[in-house]
Amino acid sequence: MKTSDFLKLDIRDILKACIIATLTPVLVLVQQSIDAGQLTFDYKHLGMAAIGGFVAYLIKNFLTPPAIVSKIQIEAQKN
């Protein structure tokens, strides 16, 4: 499997960024709730965290050179 080319994004990058944009506010919510001692929803901070996570992930993938990931490499990393 080949990752997207340098200075290019593909649909997988967009989908993964959407997942990150969903998970990042969850972490912010947990962190804010622990700090406050109760469950708190600050929608402004959660929205900013979602946008920040989405944009940061896309920038990271945009500037990362392509790599070829094979099943052999994945199995080697597991062991």
Domain residue limits, the chain: 11-78
Tell me phi and psi for residue 68, to 5 degrees. Answer: -105, 120
Q: What is the pLDDT of residue 22?
A: 94
Give φ, ψ of 71 to 5 degrees: -65, -30
Residue 1 pLDDT more than 80?
Answer: no
Q: What is the pLDDT of residue 73?
A: 57
Q: Dump pLDDT digits (tens) for 51-74.
A: 999 999 999 988 888 877 666 655
Please state the rounded mean pLDDT for residues 37-61: 92
| pTM over cut 0.85 | no
Residue type, 26: V
Instruction: Find the radius of gyration of the CA atoms of the chain.
Output: 16
Q: Is the dihedral of CA 35, 40, 43, 47 positive or negative?
A: positive
Q: What is the mean pLDDT of residues 27-51?
A: 91
Q: What are phi and psi of 69, to 5 degrees?
A: -110, 120
